[in-house]
Amino acid sequence: MSYRLSELSVEQFPHLLDGVMNISDWEEKRERIMRTWKHWIGWMPEAVPSVYTIHSEQQQSDHVRVHLSYETGFGDRVYAYLLIPGKEKHPQDKLYPAMLALHPTDAKGKADIATSEGRENRRYALDLVARGYVVLAPDTITAGERIYEGAEAFQTAPFYTEFPNSTAVGKMIHDHQQGIELLLTLGFVDSKRIGAIGHSLGAYNAYFLAALDTRVKIVVSSCGLCPFTQDPTPNRWGQRDWFSHIPQLTAAIHEDTVPFEFHEIMSLVAPRPLFNWYTQNDSIFPNWQAAALASKDVDALYRLLGYQDCYVSLLGNDGHDFPSSIRTLSYQYIDRWFMSIDRL
């Protein structure tokens, strides 16, 4: 799989169902997409047993906030907030649905979505715990408590010095999988009701994770779908002095090729429930027409699979934002599916 970057356009868009006549054809294509994705995200270690340390616990108005860290297969630790509804740190009366809340690009990391320090329209971890969800909000590498010593936030160079055969994308996926491992050790979390939500960086992290891990039963992506098609800065995904997602992509881009389109990666979530929000006035991901084509393609796939009610896609005229009205719709969407476990 590869595409000529300069030829990607509205007229020359790589449709998911090109050459796909039935579900069997799709399953074969899905395997090709998965192999390509795994190749490009590089080496990832196997999951390690969940070992975590609790650093502090604080009672908030409607939840307990646990500050903890847990081990990864890369030999480092993820720092996170675990938000537990109510006033008990180890509730025994019920099994709660859980959400991995993945933060956008902000140096505060988890604090941007899980504390009152967070920006307006970013505190979705707090929203979810108020609705009765256990929420795990981890710092991604290079943010929050995981900024490399001597480096600025979102500088990945130290990671590549130690792990040249991996990628920041693979690292983030693995770290979030370790977050799932942690949630599964908690006796009050329902293992059948674990989802992922994020905005921007957190949004594509959510569907990147779900693409590889079927334990994620539902995904909410806010402003996270940015195809290569019509992207004025496609090397945002390659080698940079700042955050380098998949450095090897830069060489491919210089040769006018890309090995996949991002809606292909999103398609690996199907047929699980997926809520996709994007906007016409997004200054970060401005190629909304391509995102609309991509979304239509994902919808066609869900329809082929017979799960058209599992995909919701909303296009707005906001900027790069996750406004209250859309967040509420996404929470209602999660509620609807997690209230009916047998549908997942």
* Domains of the chain with bracketed CATH: 3-343 (3.40.50.1820)
Give alpha helix (H) positions in 131-273: 157-162, 168-185, 201-212, 249-254, 262-267
What pLDDT does residue 217 have? 97
Q: Which of 156, 343, 134 is nearest to 247 (CA)?
A: 156
Question: Which residue type, as a one-letter code, is found at position 80?
Answer: A
Q: Which of 143, 141, 100, 108 is nearest to 124 (CA)?
A: 100
What pLDDT does residue 127 have? 98
Per residue in 101-134, is it b (16+ CB within 10 Å) or e — as a string?
bbbbbbebbbbbbbbeebeeebbbbbbbbbbebb
Q: Which of 102, 94, 289, 261 is nearest to 177 (CA)?
A: 102
**Strand 311-316 versus strand 274-279 pairing type:** parallel
What pLDDT does residue 91 have? 66
What pLDDT does residue 343 have? 45
What pLDDT does residue 93 have? 74
Chain-centre distance of CA 208, in angstroms? 5
Positions of the chain with pLDDT under 70: 88-92, 340-344
CA atoms within 13 A on the CB side of 31: 5
What pLDDT does residue 220 have? 98
Residue 42 DSSP one-character state: B
Q: Which of 106, 99, 138 is nearest to 122 (CA)?
A: 106
CA atoms within 13 A on the CB side of 94: 11
Which residue bears the tokens 């709660």? 96
Per residue in 218-238, is it b (16+ CB within 10 Å) or e — as a string?
bbbbbbbbbbbbbbeebebbb
Q: How far apart are CA 34 and CA 36, in angstroms?
A: 5
